[in-house]
Structure 1
């Protein structure tokens, strides 16, 4: 395992991967916070948390957070997996940092655009910028593979 940590790109990848994973996890806490403060739950047994005062319903704010969280899951997992392969393929530090920073910035902006309902195409553009970063890393890994 020491070989992974000898890779000069790996510590940077680890940092940006942790940032986006923690951002994704924070969306779950944000969902719980809004469920508890609004006393709106998804399952009848959850209303006991509010002493029977809660209700089973949907709420636009909670659903927006959940959709943002789902979108994070759909993008952060590929970033981490492809980013590991990309890191192992020996990219230049400058190129790797550019990919990692673009993806991380795009995901953070995507969350802001989603949660604050910024006008489109802001959210869509940030999604595609992040996706292009992942696709570029994948494309750069291909020459290092044997197919």
Structure 2
């Protein structure tokens, strides 16, 4: 398959990658909205101008109701962005479609489970294992990309 069509919906594997990337990016965006919701609900703001304009008490970054959601969102940013970037390069290595689809699905599932474990909260090592699973998939794809592109 020509490289230009590998990164298009003409390539069924790209379509699957785009779908699962959309799922985890959408979940990351949802975490941002949930952080804002927590801040507005409890009137907990980090910046003085937000406190003044939105009616909080005093600036703080230590409220656990806000920080738990914010940390989960931060973890998404740290893991979803590398997955999407590396996965884009991984598609161009022309991987086995069954295997690649499994990697994309398990990554998306691991990120959703990570959020559930964080928000409920479910005792460790559940959150750690779900995060490690997604990280391992991204690392595996990164190695495949490096190997395919080495000079």
User: Could you state the TM-score of these two structures normalised by the residue count of structure 2?
Assistant: 0.89
Equivalence for 1:56: 59
Q: 2:113 aligns with which of 101, 109, 112?
A: 109
Aligned to 2:81: 77
* CA deviation vs aligned residue, 1:104-146 (integer Å, no higher than 9, x gap): 1001000111111210000000011111111111222233213
> Do residues 8 (structure 1) and 48 (structure 2) align?
no
Is 136-145 or 10-19 further displaced after alignment? 136-145
Offset at residue 64 of structure 1 (A): 0.7
Tell me, yes or no, if structure 1 residue 131 matches structure 2 residue 151.
Answer: no
What is the DSSP-based 3-state SS (H/G/I as helix, E as strand, rest coil) of the residue aligned with 1:55?
A: coil
Count the aligned residue pairs: 146
Query: 1:48 and 1:65, CA in 2 relative to 1: closer, same or farther beyond 3 A?
Result: same
Give per-residue Cα distances to partners, 1:72-124, cap 9 Å, x unaligned. 11101110011001111111210111110111100100011111121000000
C-alpha distance in 2 between matches for 1:53 and 1:38: 8
1:122 has 2:126 as partner: yes
Partner secondary structure for residue 12 of structure 2: coil
Which one is further off, 1-10 or 63-72? 1-10
2:68 touches 2:119 (CA, 8 Å); kept in 1?
Answer: yes
Across the aligned residues of Structure 1 and Structure 2, the Cα RMSD in angstroms comes to 1.6
